[in-house]
A and B are shown apart, each in its own frame.
Chain A
Amino acid sequence: MLYSPAIVAEAIVNGLMTGAVYALVALGLTLVYGVLHIINFAHGALLTAAMFAVWVLHSAFGLDPYLAILPLAPLFFALGYAIQRFVIGPASHGDDGNILLVTLGLSILIENALLAGFRSDTRTIATDYGFQVVEVGPLLLSMPRLIGFAAAVAVTILLWMTLSRTDTGRAIRAVAKEKLGASLVGINVGHVYAVTFGLGCACLAVAACLLMPTFYVNPRVGNAFVLVAFTIVVLGGMGSIPGALIGGLFIGVVESLCGLYLGDSLGQIGIFLIFILVLLVRPTGLFGAKA
């Protein structure tokens, strides 16, 4: 199968745009991993919850998905803070295996609560700009996806600046490097953990707002994203923010090209094969000896 260069180029550009939003989802995951050293299995379910929140705000109050970032990002920050502070932290007794199980429990709980509340129907948001396209040279690009790309890159840079320039960011990095040392110099480790988890959830809320103009939501939609996000995080290096962005863009392109050459049903297999290969071939190189 040979496609014309224009089609391949379009697939690559489309992949980059999807990849940027993937990166935003992965960003929350990698941040939480980098600081708390836990894999948050509830990440996908929380993304689904955020997407439903965008849908509810739009259908009940007519709020534009992009404007929904303003209330939802702080709301999900608070939600994430509370979840880490009052559920994951106390329930897991600091044991890694327990954290894995508690976040799995949360994911089952959230996903099925959404299923019970909203049923399994797939819902979309209709906007005026949903099908607008921009002409860039020979390519026709979807307007909302271009906005998604720009916003995802902007949020990544913003998060990177927050971590490197602010006091909170310094505290987060200190806790990530040396928990005991950080607590000895007066950093409240429990608080920093919860703030980090909250930031991860805020990233999800933004990702949900950027996705909704072109994507759909149903109670299981987060699963597809979370496996992709795991792949990106492993590929980009656990805990690395630039790694998440680059990994996200790369995976977006891989998925898009696999979809083009293998068809939709096999499109995602490329991602999982990369995931397994990276885990198997370079386990220590990519996520440290502590694994």
Chain B
Amino acid sequence: MTGRALLPILLAAILIGAIPLFVTANTVLNFLVFTLIIALAAQGWNILGGYGGQFSFGHAAFFGTGAYAAAILQTRFGINAWAAFCLGIAAGAAIGWIIGYLSFRSGLRGSYFALVTLAFAEVFRILANASAVTGGAAGLLVKLDVRPENFQFSSRAVFVWIALALVVAVLVLTAWIERSRFGAQLVAVRENEGAARALGVDALRVKLLAIALSGGVTAAAGALYVQYFLYIDATIAYGTWISVEALLAPIIGGAGTVLGPLVGAVTLHGLGEITKTLAGRVPGIDLVAFGALLIVAVAFAPDGIIGLARRLRARIGRGGGA
């Protein structure tokens, strides 16, 4: 990997990582942690949806699995929180692989893949809401015991840095995927699966690897959510809200780009806060803005904010040369 690819990542990391050094207001730090969790979930979606072109409408299946796995392993089996966190990621990747195996084997793509992922997330939500091990509709509380070895910290700033570290790790992973053989094959499958197969790309294997990675990353976001809020229930874990968030951020920021999901998540939630301040605490008003923004983005900026920026830079570059 070249320095050129890593420079924007480093810049973003320093920019966000410095905020807790200057701002100590809880609202700001809460906003940062939450936005970074969304960004992480969105980065997971981006691997499968952005690079692989497989639009999932049910990434809640992975987010929720990561969250529940981390919470259940800690509370019911007394496993160390850090280990539970890692196992949560593994569980998300496994669920990803299974859903992928079932749907890609059946040749589902486009709208049908979107529908089947949506249905899987819904099945998980109903099961989690009814079963005893997940605490049913009452949800699961992780016991408050603030110690670093429990993945609990008294300072919100530490959570910002941990969330940021995970986001940066996935940024580097995505940048590596973009330049790897696997990434090239994934993009080839997105652009024209038939042609990719004719050239000897094992499309099923490539898509399975992508969905497992994607599921693992989004599960990390879910597990982090549990560590931060110390609570999870079926509506949070497997609700449509997170499926939509995971998809919106990359689409707005730029699907199939390294920084797209992060840029999208920050833009969306920044905009959400602004709308809430302007319109008062009307419920749902921020989501009205999200919906409108999604339509506008698809209509006028199909490559998201990153795409717009690239086009702008190309135009300026041309103007300067002429």
Q: Secondary structure of the B side of the interface?
A: helix
CB contacts (< 8 Å) of B21 on chain A: these are: none
Which stretch of B63-71, B102-110, B216-224 is in the interface? B102-110
Q: Which residue of A lies closest to B99 (CB)?
A: A276
Q: Which residue of A lies closest to B102 (CB)?
A: A280
| A97 with B55: CB separation less than 8 A | yes
| B294 with A276: CB separation less than 8 A | no
Asked whether B8 is an interface residue with its Cβ less than 8 Å from the other chain, the reply is no
Provide the bound-state CA to CA distance between A91 and B299, in Å.
4
CB contacts (< 8 Å) of A283 on chain B: these are: 106-108, 112
Q: Which residue of B lies closest to A42 (CB)?
A: B291
**Contact status of A97 and B110, CB under 8 A, knowing A105-B295, A112-B284:** yes
CB contacts (< 8 Å) of A275 on chain B: these are: 115-116, 119
| A109 with B288: CB separation less than 8 A | yes
CB contacts (< 8 Å) of A108 on chain B: these are: 244, 287-288, 290-291, 294
Which residues, 264 to 310 on B, are CB-close (under 8 Å) to A?
Answer: 282-285, 287-288, 290-295, 298-299, 302
Closest Cβ of chain A to B22, distance in Å, is: 34
| A112 with B103: CB separation less than 8 A | no
B-contact 0/1 string along A109-128, CB 8 Å cutoff: 11111111001100000000
| A266 with B291: CB separation less than 8 A | no
| A276 with B291: CB separation less than 8 A | no
Provide the bound-state CA to CA distance between A291 and B74, in Å.
43
| B112 with A279: CB separation less than 8 A | yes
CB contacts (< 8 Å) of B251 on chain A: these are: 101
CB contacts (< 8 Å) of A101 on chain B: these are: 55, 251, 294, 298
| B114 with A109: CB separation less than 8 A | no
Provide the bound-state CA to CA distance between A96 and B53, in Å.
12
Q: How many residues of A contact B (CB 8 A)?
A: 51
Q: Which residue of B lies closest to A92 (CB)?
A: B298
Which stretch of B24-32, B81-89, B121-129, B195-203 is in the interface? B121-129
Closest Cβ of chain A to B111, distance in Å, is: 4
| A100 with B111: CB separation less than 8 A | yes
Provide the bound-state CA to CA distance between A92 and B284, in Å.
25
A-contact 0/1 string along B167-184, CB 8 Å cutoff: 000000000000000000
Provide the bound-state CA to CA distance between A116 and B291, in Å.
13
**Contact status of A279 and B111, CB under 8 A, knowing A109-B295, A265-B130:** no
Asked whether B206 is an interface residue with its Cβ less than 8 Å from the other chain, the reply is no
Asked whether A27 is an interface residue with its Cβ less than 8 Å from the other chain, the reply is no
A-to-B contact residues, CB < 8 Å: 38-39, 41, 87, 90-93, 96-98, 100-102, 104-116, 119-120, 219, 223, 227, 230-231, 234, 263, 265-266, 268-269, 272-273, 275-276, 279-281, 283-284, 287, 291
B-to-A contact residues, CB < 8 Å: 53, 55, 57, 102-103, 106-112, 114-116, 118-120, 122-123, 126-127, 129-130, 137, 240, 244, 247, 251, 282-285, 287-288, 290-295, 298-299, 302
**Sample (6) of A-B pairs whose CB atoms are under 8 Å apart:** A97-B110, A105-B294, A108-B290, A275-B115, A276-B120, A276-B123
Q: Sorted from nearest, which 5 A-B pairs have the closest CB atoms?
A: A109-B291, A108-B291, A115-B284, A105-B294, A112-B284
